[in-house]
Amino acid sequence: MQFLTIIPLGSSQRFEAHKALPLFPICGVIIGGMLAAVDYLGALLWPHQAVAVVDVVFLTVITGALHLDGLADTADGLYGQRTTERALDIMKDSRIGAMGMVAVVCCLAIKWAGLSSFQTEVHPLRPLWLCLVPALSRSTIIFAVRLLPYGRPNGGTGSPFFQHPLRHIDYWPLGLLAIIILAMDAWAAVWIGIGLASLTAALLLYYRIKINCITGDMLGAMIEVTESGLFLLLAASGRFL
């Protein structure tokens, strides 16, 4: 929680990334639970469109814009035909470029569109989905760490997560999430499962083609893109499920 959010929970003296990484989905559930509470309280005061803005702002604030910063750096670095070394140098630069700004604006717009269209009248389980989407988006990190090498051998923000290989038991939070979603709505579980797998595979394939490695910024970008995509997918699901 201390790494993924601005909430000062846990010890600041020691950070064991290989133990924290499997719990990212659990942290996502906690973030989602707070989002559901904000969404519920906001709905008592404002219409859906305004509440969606509040939800998007809350997600940005609670995470300290950590993942949005990664999205901006990733967009700046991977845009165009650049060598791996040049792309990594650009992503390390703290300044934001035009592509980074465009990516952040588009991501927030998609997230707002999904949240404002994903209404309780159509989706009575909206509060539960608000808890689960942040968890599912953060679960993609586990696959990214497993499937792509780290791009900064000299160290970086994401370096600790690549120092110990993941064990099969480390995937237990994903299995728990799958059981919960299947129990909620089997058809929606298939819909969301296909969407999450497609988004994750597309991003990892894109990363592999572009620079054949991954960084902390690119992990943050994965969280933002999959979270936005899942909210938009849930909004669309009311027309087909």
Q: From first to last of the 241 residues of the chain, give the pLDDT tens digit.
A: 888 899 887 666 677 777 888 889 999 999 999 999 999 999 999 998 999 999 999 999 999 999 999 999 999 999 888 888 999 999 988 889 999 999 999 999 999 999 998 877 667 788 999 999 999 999 999 999 989 999 887 777 778 888 877 787 888 888 888 888 888 877 878 888 899 999 999 999 999 999 999 999 999 999 999 999 999 998 887 665 5
Split into its structural domains, the chain has a count of 1
12 assigned to some structural domain: no
Do the domain assignments include residue 222?
A: yes
Per-residue confidence (pLDDT) for residue 187, from 0 to 100: 81
Greatest pairwise CA separation for the chain in angstroms: 51
1 occurs within a structural domain: no
- Counting Cβ atoms within 10 Å, is residue 236 exposed (0-12), middle (13-18) or buried (19+)? middle
Q: Please choose, from the candidates 201, 207, 205, 199, the residue with its C-alpha nearest in 3D space to the C-alpha of residue 74.
A: 207
Q: What is the CA radius of gyration of the chain?
A: 17
CA distance 194 to 204: 15
Look at residue 2 and tell me if it is in a domain.
Answer: no
Structure confidence at residue 181 (pLDDT):
84
For residue 227, what are the domain limits?
Answer: 19-237
Can you state the angle between helices 126-147 and 186-210, rounded to 10 degrees? 30
- Separation between Cα atoms, residue 12 and residue 211, nearest integer Å: 33
Position 74 in a domain:
yes
194 in a structural domain: yes
- Angle ∠(193,196,199) on CA atoms, nearest 5: 145
Residue 11 placed within a domain: no
Q: What local confidence, expressed as pLDDT, does residue 238 receive? A: 65
- With respect to residue 231, please indicate whether it lies within any of the assigned structural domains: yes
